[in-house]
């Protein structure tokens, strides 16, 4: 029977030679597998079992020990992924018959609530870009459009002139999985877009009118998602708003403010372009948390 330390060495060699894995990847696998070896050596009074002797029950005990030691669920899930790969290699090499890590499920991750701005904070942010420069008008149009239509930043930078239907107050959006949807635009966003389009730099690419990017840099080239992030960071510093705010926070705020004001969850799902309503339901939890905070602040016998 192949000893566990030797099996680990062969697996790491396989990653290096056959899989051409990066040094960082190999280092991560080594740390995860050596930690397993140390756990079993200590648990068995100094004797380390061979890979063939390790059972799913043994690995459940290892996962429980990690949890009791305070490891994050993401860290435990990563270690389980390492173990599955290791024992899958062992099956290929013939020194284990079954993969004892396969039956183990990853710990369920708690879903954290997204960061959301209040309506007053959104108003402060949207008013921050200057209205007397072309780039200020562009930045205001970007922020207004993100919040008005609840767009992902990748959807925003992908917009072309042919996607805008300003007379109808709509914009065609290409979302995840190339799914298209029509998103409504409010009057503030429409006005900001029209002001920006009047001063937008000329297009140096010679694209057709419908394929011309809506949002460009000072040289007329399409903006990147990182450029939008840097732009937002500048206005967060100016307004003193929470630095955790990202372009996606405006999408979160869009959904939460709609639900707070009575929009039904199916409509919000359609507006966000979510394939599954379970993705949208996190905003109902957030809205409930907002209501609870308001209740505890206002009700005389809440606390």
Catalytic sites, residue numbers: 152, 176, 248, 251, 274, 283
- Contacts for 65 with CB less than 8 Å, ≥ 6 apart: 39
- The H-or-E segment that residue 136 falls in is helix 134-149
CA–CA distance, 221 with 68 (Å, rounded to integer): 53
Q: Are 239 and 125 within 8 A, CB to CB?
A: yes
3-class state of residue 83 by DSSP: helix
Q: Token digits for 178?
A: 């190339």
Burial of 71 (0-12, 13-18, 19+ CB in 10 A): middle
According to DSSP, the β-strands at 170-174 and 164-165 are antiparallel
Q: Are 144 and 189 within 8 A, CB to CB?
A: yes
- Contacts for 104 with CB less than 8 Å, ≥ 6 apart: 56, 59, 60, 63, 80, 83
CA–CA distance, 243 with 287 (Å, rounded to integer): 22
CA–CA distance, 145 with 138 (Å, rounded to integer): 10
């Amino acid at each position: 029977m192949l000893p566990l330390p030797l099996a680990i060495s062969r697996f790491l060699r396989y990653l290096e030679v056959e899989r051409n894995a990066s040094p960082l990847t190999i280092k991560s696998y080594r740390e995860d597998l050596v930690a397993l070896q140390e756990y079993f050596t200590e648990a068995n009074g100094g004797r380390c079992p061979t890979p063939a002797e390790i059972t799913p029950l043994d690995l459940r005990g290892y996962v429980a020990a990690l949890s009791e030691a305070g490891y994050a669920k993401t860290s435990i899930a990563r270690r389980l992924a390492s173990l599955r790969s290791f024992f899958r290699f062992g099956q290929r090499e013939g020194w284990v018959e079954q993969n004892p890590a396969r039956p183990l499920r990853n710990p369920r991750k708690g879903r954290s609530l997204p960061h959301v701005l209040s309506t007053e904070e959104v108003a402060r942010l949207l008013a921050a870009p200057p209205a007397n420069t072309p780039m200020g008008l562009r930045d205001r149009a970007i922020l207004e459009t993100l919040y008005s239509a609840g767009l992902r930043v990748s959807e925003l930078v992908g917009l072309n002139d042919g996607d805008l239907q300003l007379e109808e107050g709509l914009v065609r959006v290409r979302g995840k999985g190339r799914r298209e949807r029509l998103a409504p635009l409010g009057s503030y966003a429409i006005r900001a877009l029209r002001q920006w389009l009047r001063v937008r730099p000329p297009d140096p690419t010679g694209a057709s009118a419908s394929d011309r990017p809506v949002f460009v840099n000072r040289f007329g080239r399409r903006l990147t998602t990182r450029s939008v992030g840097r732009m937002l960071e500048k206005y967060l510093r100016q307004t003193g708003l929470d630095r955790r705010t990202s372009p996606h926070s405006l999408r979160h705020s869009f959904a939460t403010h709609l639900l707070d004001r009575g929009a039904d969850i199916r409509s919000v799902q359609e507006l966000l372009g979510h394939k599954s309503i379970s993705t949208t339901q996190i905003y109902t939890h957030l809205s409930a948390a907002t209501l609870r905070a308001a209740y505890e602040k206002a009700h005389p016998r809440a606390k």
